[in-house]
Amino acid sequence: HDVGEQPLSAGVARVERDLDGAVSRGRMDAETAAAARARVTATSDLQAAAHGAALVIEAVVEDMAVKRRLFADVQAAAPSGAVLATNTSALSVTEIMAVLDDPGRGLGMHFFNPVRAMLLCELVVGLETRDETVAAAEAAAAAMGKQTVRVRDVAGFATSRINAVIGNEAFFMLAEDVASAEDIDTAVKLGLNHPMGPLEMADLVGLDVRLAVLTELRRSLGDKYRPAPLLETYVRAGRLGRKVGRGVYRYDAAGDRLPDGRPTRAGRAAGS
């Protein structure tokens, strides 16, 4: 479900590319990919999307008011026994779910980019979350092939607190000209064995999302989470990452990084 035809079309196209890529790399056979395609239905009608669902997972912008408004609508559209989950990276699950008539059926299911490849699903247990809600979410995540961990509803949970610090420090380093963006990413991948560098990860997640997470962490936990000024500047400039074609790097319409998109210094890219 999404609010308009353009994001719906883009989402379905991304699913198609991912499935085609999995087949071409030998990670999935064509029959399995076709079956997966057949299970995907796209609609801008929330009532149609939530009707009959046993589990509804929300992944809208990191804005408390937006999430609460959506869940107020979702509870009216979904069956009364459905589990309602938010994919928030840092916001209070307890506060989001307080809008529900029955907050016990709500929790956080925090997935990681790229979701098709990352094995973890962080289950965030709110103040009112019932044990059976967590058990249902664990079963759903297991059916998706995910490993789960349970965390309390504290700002940033477990993973975002760590990941936000790494990514933020990379922006400080880029601004200080410690190394190019490409070399910072390469150092983290090869030296720390991360699958993606912190700057390319920020582009994938969205620089606006990363800034929203840091802003919430700073509000809740203090100035050690103060966003790097360069990150704030990129967001103000509209350089939000892969989804808009430019963040730290440049991307084509399919979301693939352009070969001339290697930043040599903060704010400049080779060939630009």
Q: What is the pLDDT of residues 20-48, one digit of tens each?
A: 988 999 989 999 999 999 999 999 999 99
Distance (Å) of CA 207 to CA 102, 179, 204, 242: 34, 20, 8, 9
Is residue 255 very low, low, confident or very high in pLDDT (cuts 50, 70, 90)? confident
For residue 65, the model assigns a pLDDT of 96
Strands of the 55-58 sheet, one edge to the other: 55-58, 83-86, 106-110, 120-125, 147-152
Beta strands 268-269 and 147-152 are unpaired
Is residue 196 very low, low, confident or very high in pLDDT (cuts 50, 70, 90)? very high
Q: Across-strand partners of 83?
A: 55
The DSSP symbol for 75 reads H
- Tell me: pLDDT of 236 over 80: yes
For residue 254, the model assigns a pLDDT of 80
pLDDT digits (tens, 9 = 90+) for 151-166: 999 988 888 889 999 9
113 is written with which tokens? Answer: 């980019």
- In this prediction, what percent of the chain has a pLDDT beyond 70? 95
Tell me the C-alpha distance between 189 and 148, whole Å. 24
For residue 260, the model assigns a pLDDT of 63
Secondary structure (DSSP) of 109-163: EE--SSTTT--EEEEEE-TT--HHHHHHHHHHHHHTT-EEEEEES-TTTTHHHHH
In the chain, the amino acid numbered 127 is: L
Tell me the C-alpha distance between 265 and 251, whole Å. 18
**C-alpha triplet 150, 157, 60: angle, nearest 5°:** 100
pLDDT digits (tens, 9 = 90+) for 101-146: 999 999 999 998 888 888 999 999 999 999 999 999 999 999 999 9
Say if CB 242 and CB 203 are below 8 A apart.
yes
- Tell me: pLDDT of 261 over 50: no
Q: What is the pTM of this model?
A: 0.80
| Catalytic residue from among 122, 128, 200, 216 | 122
Which of 159, 99, 158, 88 has its CA nearest to residue 128? 99
Say if CB 195 and CB 149 are below 8 A apart.
no
For residue 269, the model assigns a pLDDT of 42
Instruction: Compute and round to an integer the Cα radius of gyration of the chain.
Output: 19
Helices (H), the chain: 5-24, 30-38, 46-50, 64-77, 93-97, 131-143, 159-175, 181-192, 198-205, 207-221, 229-236
Could you confirm whether 122 is annotated as catalytic? Answer: yes
- As a whole number, the mean pLDDT across the chain is 92
- Tell me: pLDDT of 226 over 60: yes
Tell me the C-alpha distance between 47 and 51, whole Å. 6
- Tell me: pLDDT of 270 over 70: no
